């Protein structure tokens, strides 16, 4: 987190809103095809390894091969956009998109992370990530210091993704075994895809309402507006890793409680994790809201003061993003994957429509408002619709009411004695 913030600061100051906006636009375009390299198999792989540890090599090989196929499809799509200059007005932008699209192939190997999650060994992955990210952060800072060209900076971003993929192969070989792709089982892999097709489409929908705002800002306003928005989004979204880290670490324990039919313990854990995520997001939102202007002015300079209001709005989306990290795992454990697509799809549609309406009028501020509303709908409101998902909606509702019910829920005896 620190490395990425430092790099963003240096790049934003050096490239200016225009150049930083162009870089952010390319990264957003590649992010839109990333779900094709994931195929919704992330948490499913963890579940399969936990439930059938004897078949873990077949599970890993099958998931990796299918993800590689999806990654190739996404890469060729981006190469097509670059070749025909769709939304790209310069040769460096075209080459940059081509480099990033090639690097996307190596994102397929991130599936190896879910073996470590199944073994509750996320620390090993974190160490590898930290080494790679820190090394490339230094390279990006050197590139800024020596005033490297735009295409060189983009190439470094692409190389980072490639090295992360290779890093997963190396640590998997060290802690488990060499990656044996020849053990893949087409029929089994196809069965995984059939289980995850809801997650594939929901992943696409999720990325749409995560990144489409920057693409639409480029279309309606220009690169400078994307740069201002990207700075605010970076300061807001950089904290999302915490929610993922908490849920990833505790998901196997939730699966085991569910597997043992220990429903009381399962529901208690579910509520406790949701409360923890909400409290962290709320405290973070309050701190960032009050310090937004000072932080942006000190870190990024007066050129980015237009990012202040955007950040003060965007940070509140974290309330729902944090809890959504848990909801995604709950949907998997309850075999309700189609609701992942329904909720993400609803959020994507609302986000696109609101962006079409608000961006031409309010620019980045309108995009931030659209983001908060779409996250609220996709991560909370959508689960009130069906009786099958109202249990998790109730969990989130109790978390949202926590500022008013904390004493009664966590210290009931003490509160009652005072009353």
Which residue has 């779409």 as its token pair? Answer: 374
DSSP 332: H
Quickly list DSSP for 77-144: HHHHHHHTTTT--SHHHHHHHHHHHHHGGGGGGGGGHHHHHHTT-HHHHHHHHHHHHHHHHHHHHHHH
Residues 365, 310 contacting (CB under 8 angstroms): yes
Q: Is 84 exposed, middle or buried (0-12, 13-18, 19+ CB in 10 A)?
A: exposed
pLDDT tens digits, one per residue of 274-291: 999 999 999 999 999 999
- Is 119 found in the same domain as 239? no
Determine, yes or no, domain membership for 292: yes
Q: Which of 142, 143, 134, 122 is nearest to 163 (CA)?
A: 134
E-state strands within 273-414:
none
End-to-end CA distance of the chain: 45
pLDDT tens digits, one per residue of 300-343: 888 999 999 999 999 999 999 999 999 988 887 788 878 888 88
Determine, yes or no, domain membership for 311: yes
Residues 149, 23 contacting (CB under 8 angstroms): no
Does the pLDDT at position 265 exceed 80?
A: no
What is the enclosing helix (H) or strand (E) of 271?
A: helix 263-300
Determine, yes or no, domain membership for 103: yes
Residues 238, 5 contacting (CB under 8 angstroms): yes
Determine, yes or no, domain membership for 200: no
* Residues in contact with 332: Cβ distance below 8 Å, sequence separation at least 6, in sequence order: 43, 44, 47
Q: Which of 163-167, 266-270, 401-405, 410-414 has the lowest mean pLDDT?
A: 410-414
- Of the two residues 370 and 180, the one the predictor is more confident about is 370
With cut-offs at 50, 70 and 90, classify the pLDDT of residue 160: very high
- Is 399 found in the same domain as 265? yes
Residues 97, 30 contacting (CB under 8 angstroms): yes
With cut-offs at 50, 70 and 90, classify the pLDDT of residue 136: very high
- Is 216 found in the same domain as 175? no
- Is 259 found in the same domain as 364? yes
- Is 225 found in the same domain as 179? no
When pLDDT is averaged across residues 112-136 and rounded to a whole number, the result is: 86
Residues 202, 40 contacting (CB under 8 angstroms): yes
- Is 244 found in the same domain as 177? no
Any idea what the Cα angle at residue 51 is, between residues 50 and 54, rounded to 5°? 85
- Is 390 found in the same domain as 299? yes
With cut-offs at 50, 70 and 90, classify the pLDDT of residue 292: very high
Residues 8, 234 contacting (CB under 8 angstroms): yes
* Residues in contact with 121: Cβ distance below 8 Å, sequence separation at least 6, in sequence order: 175
Determine, yes or no, domain membership for 412: no
Does the pLDDT at position 132 exceed 90?
A: yes
Q: Cα(350)–Cα(381) distance, rounded to whole angstroms?
A: 12
Q: What is the longest distance spanned by two Cα atoms in the chain?
A: 72
Determine, yes or no, domain membership for 201: no
Q: Cα(384)–Cα(176) distance, rounded to whole angstroms?
A: 42
> What's the number of domains the chain is made of?
2
- Is 397 found in the same domain as 296? yes
- The dihedral over CA atoms of 124, 125, 127, 133, expressed in degrees to the nearest 10, equals 170
Determine, yes or no, domain membership for 418: no
Residues 64, 110 contacting (CB under 8 angstroms): no
- Is 178 found in the same domain as 47? yes
- Is 156 found in the same domain as 15? yes
Of the chain, the percentage scoring pLDDT greater than 90 comes to 42
Mean pLDDT of the chain: 86
> Could you tell me the residue range of the domain that residue 133 belongs to?
1-184
pLDDT tens digits, one per residue of 341-364: 888 889 889 999 999 999 999 999
- The dihedral over CA atoms of 194, 200, 201, 202, expressed in degrees to the nearest 10, equals 120
- Is 142 found in the same domain as 250? no
The tokens for 151 are 């295409």
- Is 243 found in the same domain as 309? yes
DSSP 403: H
Determine, yes or no, domain membership for 25: yes
């Amino acid at each position: 987190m620190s490395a990425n913030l430092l790099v963003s600061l240096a790049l934003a100051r050096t490239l200016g809103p225009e150049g930083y906006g162009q870089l952010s636009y390319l990264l957003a375009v590649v992010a839109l095809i990333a779900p094709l390299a994931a195929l919704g198999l992330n948490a499913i792989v963890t579940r399969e390894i936990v439930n059938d540890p004897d078949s873990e090599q077949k599970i890993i090989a099958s998931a990796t091969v299918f993800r590689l196929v999806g990654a190739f499809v996404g890469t060729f799509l981006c190469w097509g956009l670059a070749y025909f200059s769709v939304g790209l007005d310069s040769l460096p932008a075209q080459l940059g998109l081509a480099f990033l699209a090639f690097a996307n192939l190596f994102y397929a190997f991130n599936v190896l992370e879910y073996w470590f999650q199944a073994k509750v060994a996320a620390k090993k992955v974190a160490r590898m990530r930290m080494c790679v990210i820190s090394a490339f952060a230094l390279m990006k800072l050197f590139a800024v210091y020596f005033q490297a060209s735009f295409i060189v900076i983009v190439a470094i971003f692409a190389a980072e993704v490639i090295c992360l993929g290779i890093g997963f192969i190396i640590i998997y070989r060290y802690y488990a075994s060499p990656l044996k792709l020849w053990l893949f089982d087409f029929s089994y892999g196809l069965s995984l895809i059939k289980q995850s097709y809801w997650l594939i489409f929901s992943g696409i929908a999720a990325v749409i309402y995560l990144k489409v705002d920057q693409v639409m800002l480029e279309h309606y306003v220009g690169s400078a507006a994307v740069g201002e928005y990207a700075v605010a989004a970076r300061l807001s979204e950089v904290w999302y890793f915490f929610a993922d880290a908490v849920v990833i670490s505790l998901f196997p324990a939730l699966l085991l409680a569910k597997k043992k039919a220990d429903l009381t313990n399962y529901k208690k854990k579910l509520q406790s994790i949701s409360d923890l995520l909400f409290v962290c997001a709320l405290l973070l939102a309050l701190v960032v809201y009050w310090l937004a202007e000072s932080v942006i002015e000190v870190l990024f300079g007066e050129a980015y003061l237009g990012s202040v209001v955007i950040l003060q709005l965007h940070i509140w989306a974290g309330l729902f993003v944090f809890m959504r990290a848990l909801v995604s795992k709950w949907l998997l454990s309850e075999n309700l994957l189609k609701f992942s697509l329904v909720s993400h799809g609803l959020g994507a549609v609302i986000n696109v429509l609101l962006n079409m309406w608000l961006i031409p009028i309010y620019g980045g501020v309108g995009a931030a408002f659209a983001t908060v509303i779409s996250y609220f709908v996709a991560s909370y409101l959508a689960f009130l619709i069906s009786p099958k998902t109202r249990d998790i909606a109730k969990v989130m509702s109790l978390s949202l009411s926590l500022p008013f019910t904390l004493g009664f829920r966590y210290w009931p005896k003490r509160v009652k004695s005072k009353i």
